[in-house]
Every structure is written in structure tokens, then in C-alpha cells.
Structure 1
Amino acid sequence: MFMNASVIPSGSDHIPDPVALPFANAFAELPPAFFTRLQPTPLPQPYLVGISADAAALVGIDPATAGSESFIDVFTGNVIAQHSKPLAAVYSGHQFGVWAGQLGDGRAILLGDLPARDGGRMEIQLKGAGQTPYSRMGDGRAVLRSSIREFLCSEAMAGLGIPTTRALCVTGSDQQVRRETLETTAVVTRMSPSFIRFGSFEHWYYNKRHDELKLLADNVIANFYPELSGAGNPYRALLTEVTRRTAHLMAHWQAVGFMHGVMNTDNMSILGLTLDYGPFGFMEAFDARHICNHTDQQGRYSYQMQPRIGQWNCFALGQALLPLIDSVEDTEAALGQYEAEFAAKNDELLHAKLGLATRQADDDKLFESMFAILQAGHVDFTLFFRRLSDLHAGDDGGDEPLRDLFIERASFDAWAGQYRARLRQENSVDAARKLAMDASNPKYVLRNYLAQVAIDKAQNKDFSEVAKLQEILRRPFDEQPEHDKYADLPPDWASHLEVSCSS
């Protein structure tokens, strides 16, 4: 049923559970300059596309209510829950390295926050819920295609153990908007302890409003980093911790071949979470220079550039926090740890991916030669590491499925000899190593073509593939032999798929 956005009165005798959710809004404790209160714009005749039971459990929502009219209306923005006071936040940012000025939630509306299972709070945000004062020339809507991609990848990244925002559900509508073509609209309900971004701090710094900058930093420290409040300079401590988390996040992305595609400062989480899934991709045929975002003509956000851009973004945050830290030297010291933190985490993850229990002096050379043969052969990233666990430390085989990924077998054989020698150096046991490696190297990732198949079906109101992919990607490290085809090399037609900033 299509309803005007409305509030169910608190005295109603028949309040469905989703409408009665105990929303609060900690972000709204900031002054009005930080946001605009507004209501979502309703979508006509919304329907449920998918729900994550895992995400629902984080905030005590019963997924069994997902099919109800009240659930769909609340999480589309057609009905406002009785305790919710929706708002859109303002922020600014650097986009593709260029200062873009004021941005803000152009189509995302925060309903508020709910108590979380871990004792904290989880903000609930509708993406695609209509125009806001920050929409600029946008229509405030998201399309079904990009909403399904964000929904699936948010939950897939959680399954991979990578810090991320979550996605509760996707609702759709037959209402159309124009992108490159006419597409149907949708709303994805996103969840995060906070959606505050690097660009939230940049906004106040570049507007020379240092009082608001301090208020925001104090709010973030009090709510998310209380252990930093007693530091000699809590703002330096904040920058130090965010830099560390960001460096680790970049290492996690590189380790699974994930490419974000739009690493603008307004898409960087102050909590070190993967935020804003737009033109993302997972590496298939390995190419360190691969660009997953068709809009990124210069390759600023290519796979090999991500660690460097993560550091660049931290420097942008450091610039914004400089008035609070009040020392160039202290700011540089906080930022100076990035390279060491990234290198250490990257090294840790690569050792785990190769099943190496110890560290040896020449391990870097082993890694470099491995990536060299992957690059030369454009070998599938996920399949290579997954099949690597079957290789025996001795010269008695186990490597044929892995070897078959290479056209130039001699280069693989030479590297495999080095790898086997390294395994024997630490007396590696094949069976134990395989268990450990399979827990570090996923069998299943959200390949673009898998998402596209689900999208194509969903556009015909068949949401079964969305649900199936979601279930497979919940357990990406498990064998799941009944779903082996989802781990195969992509079909030829997949090479023509392109993703861009249009969503």
C-alpha cells in the first residue's frame, strides 16, 4: 500500500513491531548546523527484495516480520516509526583528489539508532529515500541495481571478516528514474555504529568553524573512542587510531582482492569501516592496475593505488584535525604510523594466505615473485589462493588444478618450487596447513557477474538469486560443494561488465 510518509501515534493500540522500534538519535545531540530534519519521500507500492537475518539480529529485529506491510513501509520511508526523528547530515570532501566543497546526505536519511546486541548502538539509514537539502542536482533516489549490489556486498564483507557497514534489507518499487537508462528505484537500509566520515571533519575545517570541529571530535571520542578521552591530546590520539584502523582496512581489502572504486574522503569511515558500496569489484584476472570503476579514467582508485590513497585520505583528515591537535609535528607523528601499520598487517595476512607459520628473511621475495607470475598470467585471484592450499610441501603433486590456471606453466613451476622449499623449511604439515589456509582464502566472493545475474532476475521480480547469493556469501570459507559453480571462473560475457558511479 502506498502511504504518505506519516507518523504512527504512540498511543495506537495496534502498533506493529517495526513501527514501535525503540529509536533514539545520538547524532541529533549535535547542534542543528550538523544536519537537517526531514521526512523521507514515499515510494509507490514498495515490496521486499531481500533481508539479512544476521544484520537484523544485531539490533533485535525479528526477520519474520520482514514480509509485513509495516516492515516494508518503515524501511522504505513510507511510514515513520513512532520514536524516529529522521535527518540528513551535512559533510564535505575531496572527490578524486579535488576539493568538492559541501556534499552531505544527498539521498540518505538517518532514522535514528537502535540498541545493538553488543551493548552499543547501531544507526539505521535509508539510502535512496528521496531528496534532501544536500542532493544538489540529484533526485535523491537509488536504483534497484546498485541497491542489490550494496546489500549483497555489505553482508559478503561481513562474512569475510572485514570491517564494514551492514545492510538490513532492500525494498523496491516500480517507480522509475533515469540514469544511463530508465531504471526502477529501491531503498537499501544500511546499519553502522556511525556514518560519520573523514569529510564530516573537513566540512568544518574548510569553513573555518573550529568550534563545530571540536564538537564533532568530542562527540566521536565520547561515543566511539572513550578510551582516548584521558590521553594527553585526545585529538592526536583520535587521528592515530583512525590512521591505524584505515591502514589495516586497506590491507584487508588487498588480501581478498576487493576494490572500492570511489575512495573519496566523504566515503571514508571515521570508525575504519568499509563505507558506501558503489562501483566496487573483486579482482578476477589479476592485474595490479585494474580499475573497477568505469568513471575513474585516470586510475586513481585502482587496486594497486588503494593503500596509497588510504594514506592520502588520512593526511586529509589530519589536515582537518590540525586546529585541534595544534601541532604539525604531533599530527605528522600520528600519520607517520600508516606505512608501518599497513606493512605489518599486509605481511600478516599474506603469511596466513600462504599458510606460513613463521617469518623468514626472504619471504618478501617469495611474495613479490608470486604476484609477478599472477600479473604475467592474469590468473584468477580468488581461485589461485583457494587452490594453493592443495599443493603438497613435497614434490608429490596436489598442484594440478592450480597449475591449470596458468598458460605459462614453467613460471608457475619455478615459483612452486620456491614455495615448497619454504614450506619444508618450517616443516609444514599439509593437512594442518590446508585447514588454516582455507580459513584465510575464501572460496566464494561477490563476483560482478554473480551480482548481475541476481539483478537481472530481480528486475523481473524474482529475488531467489539475491537470497541464494546472500546465503552462500555468509560462509565464504566453507566448501559448500552444492554451490561449486559459484566459485568457477567467470563466463566470457562477464568481461564486458562495467560499473560506474551511476547509481
Structure 2
Amino acid sequence: MTLAPKNNLTTLDLGLAWHNRFAQLGPRFYTPLAPWPLPAPYWVGRSASVARELGLNAAWLNSPELLEVLAGNQPLAGTQPLASVYSGHQFGQWAGQLGDGRAILLGETAGLEVQLKGSGPTPYSRMGDGRAVLRSSIREFLCSEAMHGLGIATSRALCVIGSDAPIRREMVETAAVVTRVAPSFVRFGHFEHFCHHDMPAQLKVLADYVIDLFYPACRASDKFAGNPYAALLEAVSERTAEMVAQWQSVGFCHGVMNTDNMSILGLTIDYGPFQFLDAFDPSHICNHSDTQGRYAFNQQPDIAYWNLFCLGQALLPLIGDQALALEALESYKTVFPAAFERRMFDKLGLADASASTADLDRALLQDVLQLLAQEKVDYTIFWRRLSHASAAANNTLVLDLFVDRAAAEALLLRYSERTKLIPRGLTAGLMLKNNPKFILRNHLGEQAIQSAKEKDFSQVNTLLMLLESPYEEHPGFEDFAGFAPDWASSIEISCSS
């Protein structure tokens, strides 16, 4: 592949202390590679919150110099750009070698790796051209920050930069680059790559790197004494369980849970055909490329375990004992349901939930979810209205969501009987902290995208502001918390999204 020349460019120094620990793993892990230049870049959206996390002076967020750097047009002092290689299972099938097909890792600062996504072709680009489009870039930028605002483990996004450079997908669109950050972008697929290609030395180097940086307690595990790799598998299983429980509690559909899209740190990464549920439909498929429904909303917990099993197979040469690997995976089966119940009981305001009330609470939760599914009630609006109803002791707005009012009244009566001994303020306070008013609905994202295509970025910025604090009321922005319009159901999102 012929790479774009990067000659006679001035290196910008942002005053950040950069590390390149991933680059020190060795040449089998990546290809050194500078990002491709992006012509005539312009700012689309920026997160001051992420800038603070990076220790980046806020003044840089308005500077033409930083714009050029994050567009790939100017080198950044202290960084060592590269594209990493990995493999993976896609839609349940072994896909072979993959890798950063459109992402360049600049390096690590303030404990966060910084990537440019959409920064041009790499040796691991397949059918794509290494560029990202404005549409998908805005979606990833907003959803990364929305998930963080919800308290869900996720990569973050510093900014979106656009360009009028044409990019062909299903149609000709314009180019964009997202600057995204995370403690690490190592995936299950990295381990699969070195296992599948019979590279035990590199597999061990990678596992030791992850353990030493992110899971040091695995070295001193009592349960897996002397086997930090089994302890790593268990720790990743538990983090993944917690993450998926978070997804299910807020109605988030990832859309493409391939093993190469699964973070070794239990972070939500790679926002493509995602969606937050409007109507509660447990079998909803948000990805139009997913013709078999493998990644339907209610399949996500099982798919996460399937992916962890693949990770276990990749780590088996290091663990050395199949029974031990299976034991390490078992924790997922207890951590996920416990984490999901805990979050759902918080959504119900059950501040006194305990082992003594567990059976009653589970039955109540199951019946609530069943009625929501039967009537396809808007998931987010139901929980938010229930939160306010608990505070005001008035169920009218909740009942208005149901056609079968009698069934809803009976269920709400059971709920009030369950919560009558809990101080009302305690119940409502817990609920309002766990039932967001604002989520990134598909139609809101689409409206922001259409405005951005006309160089109007006001809705991107408004959504960012609301999604950064989704549990607040934000008076005057009620339209962003309303029901999805009828046309929203016609929005198609696929793996190209």
C-alpha cells in the first residue's frame, strides 16, 4: 500500500506527557503509520470534559493548530502513531485477520490512549477506504459522551472534525475524523489473533501487558494462585457482565457485538449500528445488517458470554487447563444477573431491596417488563414518569402510556404496596438518579446529522450538553425528551453506520 507523504511538516507540542507503551510491545503488534491528511478540516463538535481528562488546555480546543493535528495534517510531538493488528469472530464466524482499518493510535497521555478514527487507510483496511463519514462520526461522538453521562463504562470522544472531501458508502458522503480516548483499545480479538496464528510469545507479552497495567491484582489471586491468566479471564468476565447489565438497564443495543468489538477492559467501544430502545421490544434488532437477529437486544447477555468463551479459548495456551478456564468464565453467570437486578431495583426505587425481598422484587420487575413489552411502551419515558409519579404520588401520566389501563393500574397498585414502607423522597431520589430523562434517540441523532451536513452544528452541541447530564431536568429542552416521531422507525442503521 502506498501511504501519503508527510514531508516538511512542523511538529506541534501541546505540552502533554506522552507514553507509547503499546508501541513497545514489538513489531508483530502493529504497523507504524502516520494518519492521512484531511483537506480543509473544520470543527463539528468538541467535548471540554474529555479535554480536561487529558489535561489539555481549553484554549487548544478553539485553535487551528489542534484542528490540523487531529485532522491528521500535522504531527504531534511525543506521539508514535500506529495501527494495531487483531483478529476476531464476526457474526459468529471466524473472520481471520482484522485490525485498525481506519484508526491510528497516537499514543497515551494522562492514562488515556488517543486514537484518530477515520484517519485514512492502513494495512488492515479491507473493503473500506480507511475514512469515516460525518454521519457515523457524529453518532460515535455523541453516543460515547451519552454513555459516559449515563455512568456506563465506555470509550470517550474528544471531538469530531469534518471535511467536504467525498467518501463513498451506499452514497457519496463527506469525510470526518473522531478523536476518541480510552485507557486501552485492546480487544478480545487481539488475543484471538496471536492464539490463532500460533504466536505464544506475543500472546504472553500481550496478556502480561494488560495484567500489569490494568489488572495487577491478578498476580496475587488466591482463587487462581500462580495462574494470573485464569484470574484475568475471570476479571474480564466480571467487568463485561457489569457493562452488559448497564446496557440492558437503559435499553441500549450495541448492534454488532463481534469479538473484535469487545474491550478487554469491559468498556463499550466501536459505536456503529447502535440504538437506544424507543418502544420496549426485547427482541428488537437495531442493525439492518443483522439479518438473523444474532445481536438483538435480548440476546446481548448471551452473546457477551459467547465472546468471553472465545477469549477463554484464546487464553487457554497461557492458562494451560481447560477446566480452570471454564471456572474463570463461570463468574459471568452470577455477576450479570446480580448486576442487572441491582440496577433494575434501583430504577424501581427499591432502596430496601435485600435477600428477604428478592423473590417479591423479581416477580414485580418481571411483570413490569412483560407489560411494557406487551404494549410496546416507550422504555425511557415510562421509567422517568414512574420516577416523578413516586415523588408526587400521582400515577396519571404513567397510566396514560398504556392501552390496557386496568392491567397498568393493578401493577401500579402492587408497586405502591411494595414501596409504601420506603420514605417517598428516598424512593424518588433513587429513581431520578437511575432513570434518565435524555437519551440519544435515533431521530435526534439523525436531525443533528442533517443539520451538520448544512454546516449547522448547533444541534450537535445541544445534544452534547443534554447527554452529558441526562438525569437533570434541563427546563426548556422537553422536546429532546419526548416520544420518537413516526418517521423514526424508518431510520435504517447498519454496519456502515
TM-score range, shorter chain: over 0.9
State the Cα distance separating 1:6 from its structure 2 match.
Answer: 5.0
Once the two structures are TM-superposed, the CA of residue 236 in structure 1 deviates from its matched residue by 0.6
1:379 is matched with which residue?
377
> What residue identity is the alignment partner of 2:143?
C
SS in 1 for 2:220: coil
Question: What is the one-letter code of the residue matched to 2:133?
Answer: V
Report if aligned partners of 2:207, 2:229 keep a CA contact under 8 Å in 1: yes
Letter in 2 for 1:128: G
* Larger deviation, residues 396-405 vs 489-498: 396-405
Question: In the alignment, what sits opposite 1:155?
Answer: 145
Residue 53 of structure 1 deviates from its aligned partner by 0.4
Matches within 5 A, 1:177-326: 177-231=167-221, 232-326=226-320
Match of 1:81 among 51, 73, 76: 76
Matched, 1:174 2:164: yes
Note if contact 1:442-1:477 (Cα within 8 Å) is conserved in structure 2.
yes
Match of 2:413 in 1: 417
Alignment of structure 1 residues 335-354 onto 2, 5 Å = 335-354=329-348
Give per-residue Cα distances to partners, 1:447-502, cap 9 Å, x unaligned: 01111111011001111111110001111001112211111001111121111111
Out of 58, 64, 67, the residue aligned to residue 69 of structure 1 is: 64
Q: Deviations over 1:168-217 (max 9, x none)?
A: 00000000111111100000001011000000000011111111111100
The answer to whether the 8 Å contact 1:110/1:125 transfers is: yes
Aligned-residue identity in percent: 52
Q: Distance in 2 between matches of 1:157 and 1:453?
A: 19
The DSSP-based 3-state class of the residue aligned with 1:301 is coil
Indicate the SS of the match to 1:176.
strand
| Alpha-carbon distance change, 399 to 35 in structure 1, aligned in 2, over 3 angstroms | same
CA distance in 2, matches of 1:339, 1:228: 20
- For 2:480, give the aligned amino acid: Y
8 Å contact 1:7–1:82 — kept in the other structure?
no
Higher mean C-alpha deviation, range 463-472 or range 62-71: 62-71
Structure 1 counterpart of 2:278, which letter? Answer: E
Deviation at 1:64, TM superposition (A): 2.5
Q: CA deviation at 1:406?
A: 0.9
User: Could you state the TM-score of these two structures normalised by the residue count of structure 1?
Assistant: 0.94
Contact 2:16 2:55 in 1 (8 A): no
**Please, which of 139, 143, 149 is the counterpart of residue 133 of structure 2?**
143
User: Can you give the 5+ residue segments of structure 2 that lack an aligned partner in the other structure?
Assistant: none
- Equivalent-residue separation in structure 1 for 2:432 and 2:6 (angstroms): 48
Q: Secondary structure at the match of 2:477?
A: helix
Q: How does 1:324-335 map to 2 (within 5 A)?
A: 324-335=318-329
Shift of 1:83: 1.6
Kept after mapping to 2: 8 A contact 1:7/1:80: no
Contact 2:10 2:75 in 1 (8 A): no
User: In the comparison of the two structures, how many residue pairs are matched?
Assistant: 486
Cα distance in 1, alignment partners of residues 410 and 465 from structure 2: 39
Residue pair 1:403, 1:412 contacting (<8 A) in 2 also: yes
What is the alpha-carbon root mean square deviation over aligned residues? 1.5
Summarize deviations over 1:326-364 as a string: whole Å, max 9, x none. 011110100011110001101110110000122312221
Summarize deviations over 1:363-415 as a string: whole Å, max 9, x none: 2111111111001110000011111123359xx95111111111121221121
CA distance in 1, matches of 2:447, 2:117: 23
After TM superposition, the structure 1 = structure 2 runs for residues 51-70 of structure 1, keeping only pairs within 5 Å, are: 51-70=46-65
**Letter of the aligned partner of 1:415 in structure 2?**
L
Query: What is the aligned partner in structure 2 of residue 100 from structure 1?
Result: 95
Q: State the Cα deviation string for residues 225-267 of structure 1 (Å, max 9, x = none).
A: 1222233210011001000000110100000001100100000
Distance 1:31 1:4 in 2: 24
1:454 & 1:95 partners in 2: Cα distance?
Answer: 30
CA contact (8 A) 2:138 2:160 kept: yes
Aligned residue number for residue 399 of structure 1? 395
Answer yes or no: is 1:408 the counterpart of 2:398. no
Residue 429 (structure 2) pairs with residue 435 (structure 1): yes
- Structure 2 residue aligned with 1:488: 482
- Residues 18, 79 of structure 2: 8 Å contact kept: yes
Q: Indicate the residue corresponding to 1:462 in structure 2.
A: 456
Unaligned 5+ runs, structure 1: none
Aligned ranges 1:16-31 → 2 under 5 Å: 17-18=13-14, 20-31=15-26
Question: Structure 2: how far apart are the matches of 1:437 and 1:392?
Answer: 9
**CA-CA distance at 1:431 after TM superposition:** 2.4
